A and B are shown apart, each in its own frame.
Chain A
Amino acid sequence: MVSHSRTFALHTKRGLILLTILFSSYALFLPEVQAFVRLAAGGVSFFWSNAQATMNLQLGCPSQPLANWGPCWDDAAADALAVWNSVAARFRFFVSSPSVTTSPCAHSDGLNTAAFQSTICGMAFGGSTLAITLSFANSTGALRESDVLFNAGQQWSTYSGPLLLSPVDLHRVAIHEFGHVLGLDHPDQHGQTVTAIMNSAFHVGDGLDSPQADDIAGVNTIYPSLTSPTGVLENPPPGSFVSGISIISGWKCTAGTLTFTIDNGPPGTLVYGSSRGDTPCGNINNGFVTLWNWNIISAGQHTIRVFDNGVQFAQATFIVTTLGQQFLTGASGAYVLPNFAGRNVIVQWQESLQNFVIVGTQ
């Protein structure tokens, strides 16, 4: 297990005067550890032997079309499945089409049904339970069925961004529950402290609505890739901090039209074909890139998704910090970062990048 803290430097307006504040509080920054936990019972960890599961979506449609991932609940659930597919190297969710009308409590029908239910097969949800996953496995842990029951007595909607107490965002709850379906448990219920969609707990107001690095490591540990990946988003990496103007970049061995969205907003275009001979693709011109001003989106956590001809193949959640303007003009300053990699490093504000660059060392 590896963990590290992050060091941040704050600077006064007088050059060469430096104030470094070290934050190592768990309350502010969670340590980055690989802490995922596999769903298990009786000492046996659960898994799908063929690294895939077909979900029978029986959630139906609301009276008014959903504003996000809609128009139906099944569409939002299907997108939640696609989110896992986009980050899993090998595991794949499929959607039964057409869906089969059945009860999620028919435990021997071999169907992985997701549905709204007023009870858990005759037992009450209790006053606080929103959704539950029932996983059925043999003595080796090989799953044969997994059903997801959403509490029909709860107010539901679909939205990204800060979580509301009511209505609850079904999309992120579905991502969480489908994480159970593929074999992940709650890391925070096993003494782990890590940022993860599979944690049993979110704070109201949290923007966490997609698989995080630990979740992704989890699914790809249970179902390790048999082949090298064919496409990667390298910048911004998951869990990173970004600011100013920088690139969105990565590589894909073959590609049609590459686009990206931030928080499911309007798509942007990525330029494909830059030289990347270092990838496992076997060709050279497989890089993609675009320049992006992070100041135009709000400070805080965001999720970027990358698509090839409309099919998502990568995503990352990252944190944006801004200085409150889309393009800060007229500012200047140079500062010393002491004892970085054994030397003092001088950084200077560069307006064109809306960021600081290293201009010297001492």
Chain B
Amino acid sequence: MYLAKAALRFLVFTGLGILSAPALATTVLEQTFPDLVHQADVIAVGTVTGIQEQWDAARQAPTTHITFSNLTVLKGDIGGESMTLEFLGGHMPDGTILAVSGVPSFSIGEKNVVFSAGNHRDFCPLVGVWQGLLRVTFDSQRGVETVSDNSRMPIVGVQDGRFLKSEISSQETLPLSTLLELITQEIRSPHGQP
């Protein structure tokens, strides 16, 4: 278990929000940190370098292909220097937009941690849909890269298998390097036995 203790104390005693991970989503079951690690086929940190829509004639649906480069792969074999994930959604041949609730959006140049599973099989190749995507930003004050969830809520630690999140931009936001250590530790651990 890792916990940014100073941040936790600060948040508790100021009464400000530590939001534990949900137990169940209306559309998606909660994935704990061990779930994310152990259910992922691939865990990687990378920068979005390509976004391309394609029409899937067999499924009669558009898909959007997100390419990640500059990869640090912690789990799995991506078979190359880049990785492309396929998401349901995009433009149809007649210009109609297909939007799928819950599927994350991406921008060129953003850096993410992805817990991927079921690429080219599932409608969203992330464990737990949006839960399998973490955003990486650079904290210029601390000089470190830090991690937030898909909605850009800062992650301040991992406790009891769940991400601790905060609405305030604390100096104690979890560094990317620490998260990668936690992932590496979890990969070595039996599922549920961190």
Q: Which residues of A contact B (CB under 8 A)?
A: 23-27, 39-42, 44, 46, 105, 107, 120-139, 144, 163, 165, 168, 172-173, 176-177, 180, 185-186, 188-191, 193, 197, 199-205
- CB<8 Å pairs between A and B, sample of 9: A26-B19, A121-B60, A123-B122, A123-B123, A127-B127, A128-B128, A168-B24, A176-B26, A205-B23
Give the shortest distance, in Å, between B107 (CB) and chain A (any CB): 12
- Determine the chain A residues whose CB is within 8 A of the CB of B128 once the complex forms: 126, 128
Give Cα A134–Cα B62 distance, bound, in whole angstroms.
11
Q: Which of B18, B39, B61, B152 contacts A191 (CB 8 A)?
A: B152
- Determine the chain B residues whose CB is within 8 A of the CB of A133 once the complex forms: 100-101
Instruction: Determine the residue in chain B with the shortest Cβ distance to A146.
Output: B99
Known interface pairs A121-B59, A190-B151, A202-B22. Does A129 touch B130 (Cβ–Cβ under 8 Å)? no
**Interface residue count for B (Cβ, 8 Å)?**
47
Give Cα A199–Cα B17 distance, bound, in whole angstroms.
17
- Determine the chain A residues whose CB is within 8 A of the CB of B151 once the complex forms: 188-191
Q: Would you give the 0/1 interface string for B119-141, flagging 1 where the beta carbon is closer than 8 Å to chain A?
A: 00111100111100000000000
Give Cα A96–Cα B130 distance, bound, in whole angstroms.
33
B interface majority secondary structure:
loop
Give the shortest distance, in Å, between B21 (CB) and chain A (any CB): 8
Give the shortest distance, in Å, between A177 (CB) and chain B (any CB): 7
User: Does B96 lie at the interface of the complex (its beta carbon under 8 Å from any beta carbon of A)?
Assistant: yes
- Determine the chain B residues whose CB is within 8 A of the CB of A42 once the complex forms: 97
Give the shortest distance, in Å, between A300 (CB) and chain B (any CB): 17
Instruction: Determine the residue in chain B with the shortest Cβ distance to A135.
Output: B99
Known interface pairs A130-B27, A132-B101, A204-B23. Does A124 touch B123 (Cβ–Cβ under 8 Å)? yes
Q: Considering residues A25, A127, A193, A205, which has the most beta carbons from chain B within 10 angstroms of its beta carbon?
A: A127
Is B23 touching A203 in the complex (CB atoms < 8 A)?
yes
Known interface pairs A134-B100, A180-B101, A186-B102. Does A126 touch B117 (Cβ–Cβ under 8 Å)? yes
- Determine the chain B residues whose CB is within 8 A of the CB of A135 once the complex forms: 98-101
Known interface pairs A40-B99, A120-B123, A185-B101. Does A204 touch B24 (Cβ–Cβ under 8 Å)? yes
Q: Would you give the 0/1 interface string for B26-42, flagging 1 where the beta carbon is closer than 8 Å to chain A?
A: 11111100000001000
Give the shortest distance, in Å, between A246 (CB) and chain B (any CB): 30
Known interface pairs A26-B19, A139-B95. Does A176 touch B27 (Cβ–Cβ under 8 Å)? yes
Is A193 touching B95 in the complex (CB atoms < 8 A)?
no
Q: Which of A26, A105, A188 contacts B17 (CB 8 A)?
A: A26
Instruction: Determine the residue in chain A with the shortest Cβ distance to B16.
Output: A26
- Determine the chain B residues whose CB is within 8 A of the CB of A105 once the complex forms: 59-61
Q: Which of B19, B20, B123 contacts A126 (CB 8 A)?
A: B123
Known interface pairs A26-B167, A132-B123, A202-B23. Does A137 touch B130 (Cβ–Cβ under 8 Å)? no
Q: Considering residues A125, A126, A130, which has the most beta carbons from chain B within 10 angstroms of its beta carbon?
A: A126
Enumerate B52-97 residues with CB–CB distance to A below 8 Å.
58-61, 88-89, 92, 95-97
Instruction: Determine the residue in chain A with the shortest Cβ distance to B29.
Output: A128
Instruction: Determine the residue in chain B with the shortest Cβ distance to A204.
Output: B23
Is A137 touching B96 in the complex (CB atoms < 8 A)?
yes
- Determine the chain B residues whose CB is within 8 A of the CB of A191 once the complex forms: 151-153
Instruction: Determine the residue in chain B with the shortest Cβ distance to A208.
Output: B26
